[in-house]
């Protein structure tokens, strides 16, 4: 307690009671304010943290005179998250159609300084003036906003069409609050906006630059010329623009942008458009900053907004009068590592311009090679972003392989300049229109420039069998659309269309599509309408008894083709979808499958290799969806000892030796039977290729087409458990240590050998790889080593690896994959489950709740009974919010159902193997 005072002021009892009452009220107010402040959506930055300078006041459109605001018009910003109406448009993923954005004046000021790279957290401030058209009378405005704080929010209008002598009024903003679930900032106005009128929304905001990852505005730390350096770049797709500035963050809401970047004078600023001008700004500390403004963009969605602040060098090329610059580390530019990428980019643009007869509309193209970019590459209009590993051609690279890879990735992103940027999907459920056609032209351009280099044609993997749904309920569900199926589906569709329409008609349909929807948005039905101008019924290319048959068309009137009917003759068989030109699965009747099985055992080469692959792919896929019995698919593998094509072997093994089957300890009956069945048939092809590798390593480069590509495909197989039994893989711990530490491993087999060496090696071998990992400078090397280290069979090592992942692993890599890699390993799934349940708080603090889906997949791999589901649900109930628990419960139940289905399927596989091994 405090010491007593010797003197004081004396009051009457009544006054004392009054003062006591007032004190109690004051305390209640203070407690309420403290609680309110503690639950605010965002803490407002201080003047010191976010210096304001004289000329940063948001100003109205040029030439207009503003009515003077009064103090009563000041809005309440950052109102408690607990306050919100019971329901409304903020509960839905899609914005209400009340406002249409027309133009953004966007200014961003990231506080990156080359002399202060050790700052624990990097902030940015910004301001945006958004001109909008009101379509429905409303007094409540919604914009997308996530992890942003606001200092000033104003609404002005209605804007007069003649602005020379107009006076614009200010609309009262009574309250600003946040609907965090759907990532909205909500403005409650004192009056309704008028339909048909334009308004301007002025928002002054601040946020954090991410130190890890590639979402929104993020930082790269790297070394160049033997110095630690830093840069800032952006990734807005699909829903990360709202992390950088308040906006209408949907692909259909296109607008023009005037972008201004304030940056340190030692850096260069890049954005979508060419630089318009530069000026100087002095902050409150007297520091000088450069203000770079850029020309107005075409109409484009928010996810294509891009900027970078760096001190890279660049090389320049000119193609048809337009400059193409590639920016990268000074060392890499000086060494010529970007020359190949610079030389091919212009011809790719020209090829597609000529093909579509639609010119690239922007006056320049910048390409920046980031030291670390998790997304790999991004097609932003005028400023494409790449991970540098996708662009650099170094002397030690396998030239043909790396050149083809660079060409492929650049072609994909350039293809997006038309499919995605010029014509944009209306909503994310049609994103395959962007990614699929970019993937299709990626293959076509690679074949055009390197005709002898095989590409992984999308028709070889027709596993994307459904259109992604559009009934999303959460923002993070959008990101899950960007998977291999989305990319493959559109490419397969394009492949089929080009095959039966002819290339000429197909390209003409695409030209019409691009011309109609340029600078606008489209849905998949819009594409079909332009395709149907040529035709749209399903083409059936087919073969009977080894002879190619005339094309037939499948429509509503042609459900039966007499020529395809089979007789009892042993030599009578048919193959549909010859050369896989159609985007569909083929299911034969029982006799049809039997005849094909007999033909494979009799003479497999009579069936083209791509159709042998498709037969296996179709059969296993159809069996998984209960169209045919699993035994029908298994019967097709009996001939496989005579198969000398690695791609067909790949299809067999990827369906039989997947991690869900082999790495489940409960499948002990399957493991030895499957191993015996496959090894008996695998030895021939394995010995053939391993002998070639050992005898003539130099041929890998010279004979790329016939050997290197197929060898690499073979080594993608999940056959580590098989490789342990062949002589070319190490067995003893001492030999493992020598192999690992001397690193005397062919790059083509490094991943497989390292995995198996760690699996049978010592903890010292594992420690050696971990030291390589924490000192790795390239993300690709890091991922390679993560895979190898997760192959350990020792639970304590795997547990320690995950401990490292949340404590000491370098943060410049996307190290969330460590726990996922462990969970996918032979013994790691149960170790990972226990680790997650014991370390949930630490894991989510490190990676955030956006990783919840991956965590649930890891946990869900271990459940196949109601008791196991209940156990996990009880655990999740203690760590998740209510809406997350509901989603998690549904997913766990679905996983349990799938696991039980797999268990029954595996039992039938075991029985078949007993009869056929």
Active-site residues, by number, are 413, 487
Question: Which two structure tokens, joined as six digits, stand for 611?
Answer: 């159709």
The answer to whether residues 386 and 409 touch, using CB atoms and an 8 Å cutoff, is yes
Angle between helices 852-860 and 828-838 (to 10 degrees): 130
Q: Which residues pair with 618 in a beta bridge?
A: none
- With residues binned 3-state (H G I as helix, E B as strand, rest as coil), the percentages for the chain, rounded to 5, are 45, 20, 35
| Helical spans, DSSP H, in 298-417 | 330-334, 339-356, 399-415
HSE-up of 547 (CA within 13 Å, CB side)?
7
Three-class HEC string of 103-172: EEEEEEEECCCCCCCCCCCEEEEEEEEEEEEECCCEEEEEEECCCCEEEEEEEECCCCCCCCCCEECEEC
For 283-304, give one letter per residue: b (16+ CB within 10 A) or e: eeeeeebbbbbbbebbebbbbb
33: Cβ contacts below 8 Å, ≥ 6 apart: none
Q: How distant, in Å, are the alpha carbons of 20, 350, 782, 800, 801 from that of 808?
A: 55, 48, 14, 11, 10
Per DSSP, 592 falls in state H
Q: Residue 163 to residues 65, 157, 626, 833: CA-CA distances in angstroms?
A: 9, 11, 67, 64
Q: Which two tokens stand for residue 457?
A: 């044609």
CB of 674 closer than 8 Å to CB of 653: no
Q: 64, 33, 47, 39: which is closest to 131 by C-alpha?
A: 64
Helices in 696-789 by DSSP H: which ranges?
A: 699-702, 709-714, 720-723, 733-742, 750-760, 763-774, 779-789
User: Measuring CA to CA, how many Å separate 617 from each of 75, 461, 499, 598?
Assistant: 61, 8, 21, 18
What is the pairing mode between strands 542-544 and 423-425? unpaired
CB 204 within 8 A of CB 149: no
DSSP code string of 195-246: TT-EEEEEEEEEEEEBSSSSSEEEEEEEEETTEEEEEEEEE-TTTTGGGTS-
User: What residue has token string 């209940």?
Assistant: 870
Closest of 510, 467, 508 to residue 486, by C-alpha: 467
Give 745-770 as a DSSP string.
--GGGHHHHHHHHHHHS-HHHHHHHH
* Residue 263: φ, ψ to 5°: -150, 165
Token pair for 201: 């929304």
CA dist 712 and 710 (Å) reads: 5
Whether residue 376 contacts residue 409, with contact meaning beta carbons closer than 8 Å, is answered with: yes
Cα 427 from chain centroid? 16
User: Could you tell me which of 297, 203, 302, 296 has the C-alpha nearest to residue 253?
Assistant: 302
């Amino acid at each position: 307690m405090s010491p007593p005072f010797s003197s004081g002021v004396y009051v009457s009892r009544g006054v004392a009671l009054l003062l006591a009452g007032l004190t109690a009220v004051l305390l209640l107010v203070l407690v309420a304010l403290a609680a309110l402040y503690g639950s605010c959506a965002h803490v407002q930055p201080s003047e010191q943290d976010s210096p304001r300078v004289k000329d940063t006041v948001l100003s109205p459109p040029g030439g207009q005179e503003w009515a003077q605001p009064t103090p009563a018009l000041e809005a309440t910003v950052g109102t408690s998250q607990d306050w919100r109406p019971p329901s409304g448009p903020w509960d839905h993923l899609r914005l209400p159609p009340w406002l249409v954005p027309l133009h953004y004046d966007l200014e961003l000021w990231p506080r990156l300084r080359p002399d202060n790279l050790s700052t624990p957290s990097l902030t940015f401030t910004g301001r945006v003036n958004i001109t909008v058209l009101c379509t429905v009378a409303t007094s409540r405005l919604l914009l997308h906003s996530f992890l942003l704080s606001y200092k000033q929010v104003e609404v002005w209008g209605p804007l007069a069409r003649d602005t020379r002598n107009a006076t614009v009024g200010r609309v009262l903003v009574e309250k600003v609050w946040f609907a965090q679930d759907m990532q909205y900032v909500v403005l409650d106005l004192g009056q309704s906006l008028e339909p048909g009128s334009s308004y301007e929304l002025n928002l002054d905001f601040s946020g954090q630059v991410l130190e890890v990852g590639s979402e929104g505005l993020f930082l790269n730390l790297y070394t160049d010329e033997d110095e630690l350096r830093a840069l800032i770049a952006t990734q807005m797709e699909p829903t990360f623009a709202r992390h950088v500035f308040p906006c209408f963050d949907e692909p259909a809401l296109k607008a023009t942008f005037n972008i201004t970047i304030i940056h340190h004078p030692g850096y260069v600023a890049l954005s979508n458009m060419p630089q318009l001008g530069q000026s100087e700004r002095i902050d409150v500390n007297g520091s000088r900053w450069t203000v770079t403004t850029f020309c107005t963009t075409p109409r484009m969605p928010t996810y294509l907004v891009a900027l970078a602040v760096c001190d890279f060098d660049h090389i320049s090329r000119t193609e048809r009068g337009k400059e193409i610059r590639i920016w990268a580390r000074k060392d890499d530019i000086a060494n010529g590592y970007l020359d190949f990428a610079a030389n091919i980019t212009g011809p790719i643009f020209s090829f597609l311009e000529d093909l579509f007869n639609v010119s690239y509309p922007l006056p320049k193209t910048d390409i920046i090679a980031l030291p670390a970019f998790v997304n790999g590459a991004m097609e932003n209009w005028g400023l494409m972003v790449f991970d540098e590993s996708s662009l650099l051609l170094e002397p030690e690279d396998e030239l043909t392989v790396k050149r083809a890879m660079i060409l492929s990735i650049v072609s994909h992103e350039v293809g997006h300049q038309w499919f995605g940027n010029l014509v944009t999907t209306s909503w994310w459920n049609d994103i395959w229109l962007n990614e699929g056609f970019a993937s299709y032209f990626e293959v076509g351009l690679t074949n055009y420039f390197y005709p002898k280099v095989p590409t992984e044609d999308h028709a070889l993997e027709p596993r994307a069998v459904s259109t992604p749904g559009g009934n999303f309920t959460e923002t993070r569900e959008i990101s899950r659309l960007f998977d291999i199926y989305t990319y493959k589906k559109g490419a397969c569709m394009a492949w089929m269309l080009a095959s039966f329409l002819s290339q000429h008609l197909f390209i003409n349909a695409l030209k019409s599509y691009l011309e109609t929807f340029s600078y606008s948005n489209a849905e998949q039905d819009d594409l079909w309408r332009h395709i149907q101008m040529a035709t749209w019924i399903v083409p059936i290319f087919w073969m009977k008894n080894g002879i190619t048959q005339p094309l037939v068309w499948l429509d509503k009137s042609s459900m039966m083709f007499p020529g395809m009917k089979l007789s009892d003759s042993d030599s009578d068989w048919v193959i549909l979808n010859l050369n896989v030109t159609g985007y569909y699965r083929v299911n034969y009747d029982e006799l049809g499958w039997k005849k094909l099985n007999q033909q494979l055992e009799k003479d497999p080469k009579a069936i083209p290799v791509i159709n042998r692959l498709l037969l296996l792919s179709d059969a296993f896929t159809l069996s998984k969806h209960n169209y045919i019995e699993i035994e029908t698919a298994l019967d097709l593998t009996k001939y496989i000892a005579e198969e000398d094509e690695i791609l067909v072997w790949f299809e067999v093994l990827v369906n039989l030796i997947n991690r869900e089957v082999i790495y489940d300890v409960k499948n002990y009956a399957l493991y030895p039977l499957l191993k015996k069945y496959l090894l008996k048939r695998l030895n021939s092809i394995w010995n053939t290729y391993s002998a070639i590798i050992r005898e003539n390593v130099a041929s890998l480069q010279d004979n790329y087409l016939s050997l290197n590509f197929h060898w690499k495909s073979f080594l993608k197989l999940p056959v580590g458990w098989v490789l342990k039994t062949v002589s070319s893989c190490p067995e003893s711990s001492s030999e493992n240590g020598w192999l690992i530490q001397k690193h005397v491993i062919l790059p083509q087999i490094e991943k497989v050998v390292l995995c198996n060496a760690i699996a049978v090696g010592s903890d010292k071998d594992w420690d050696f790889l971990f030291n390589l990992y924490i000192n790795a400078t390239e993300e690709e090397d890091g991922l390679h080593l993560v895979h190898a280290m997760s192959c350990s069979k020792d639970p304590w090592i795997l547990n320690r690896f995950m401990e490292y992942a949340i404590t000491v692993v370098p943060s410049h890599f996307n190290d969330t994959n460590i726990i996922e890699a462990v969970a996918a390993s032979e013994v790691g799934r149960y170790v990972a489950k226990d680790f997650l349940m014991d370390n949930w708080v630490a894991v989510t603090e490190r990676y955030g709740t956006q990783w919840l889906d991956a965590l649930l997949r890891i946990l869900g791999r271990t459940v196949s009974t109601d008791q196991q589901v209940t156990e996990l649900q009880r655990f999740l109930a203690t760590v998740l919010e209510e809406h997350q628990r509901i989603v998690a419960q549904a997913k766990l139940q679905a996983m349990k159902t799938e696991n039980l289905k797999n268990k029954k399927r595996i039992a039938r596989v075991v029985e078949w193997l007993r009869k056929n091994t």
